[in-house]
Structure 1
Amino acid sequence: MASDGGRKRSYITSGSDSNNGGIINRISSAISESPVVYEGKRAACGAASVAKKLLRSTGKAAWVVGTTFLVLVVPLIIEMDREQQFNELELQRASLLGTPPVGVGSPPN
């Protein structure tokens, strides 16, 4: 067998050793208690809170715009369409009767 040259091998274990639970547990607890990690978590929570508020207010704004459009703009579009159809009908009747349509062609005498 090959010799280590007198060096001891150390293994990284995640289970509990005789010296405070292994190196991985010690490293992970040291990292989780780090001020950088704490500030990162705080910033992430703050960003999530802002995103949630933004989504909520965007939804409310979309609701206001949508209902306003339905109440004010859709009836206006319908009325304009009716008036256009009425004008086309008047033009068609005038052409069938042979009279010149009002407002088209030469000015009245």
Structure 2
Amino acid sequence: MASRRGGVSLPDRPSNNSSSVLTNISCSSIVTRGKEAAGDAAFVTKKLLRNTGKVTWIIDTTFLFLVVPLIVKMDREQQLNDLELQQASFLGTPAPK
């Protein structure tokens, strides 16, 4: 053990045994396959998110151009029907069905 004055004692580093073990582990086929799998997963996730954004854009614009005008038209029709019922009740005539 190497010691220093007024500090913490740390063990001496072994010469080449630990670095060769780490090198062997990092170059093993399992680690290489894991890195490839992680890279493939990241690529697929990126593509999926990009395509999901495109699909979301298409759905949103379709909704804005087709569904929102339909909702506005239905609301106007309902207001017109309510106005006709209100006028009919003021005039005392039977409400149209």
TM-score (norm 1): 0.74
* CA deviation map 1:17-74 (0-9, x unaligned): 4xxxx22211111111111111111111111111111111111111111111111101
Distance 2:76 2:90 in 1: 21
In structure 1, runs of 5+ residues without a counterpart are 1-10, 104-109
- Count of aligned pairs: 87
1:101 to 2:63 alignment: no
Letter of the 1:101 counterpart: A
TM-score (norm 2): 0.83
In the TM superposition, what are the counterparts of 1:64-103 in structure 2 within 5 Å? 64-103=58-97
* Contact 1:94–1:101, Cα closer than 8 Å, also in 2: yes
Cross-structure match for 1:56: 50
Q: Percent identity among equivalent residues?
A: 54
Structure 1 runs (4+) greater than 2 angstroms displaced = none
In structure 2, runs of 5+ residues without a counterpart are 1-10
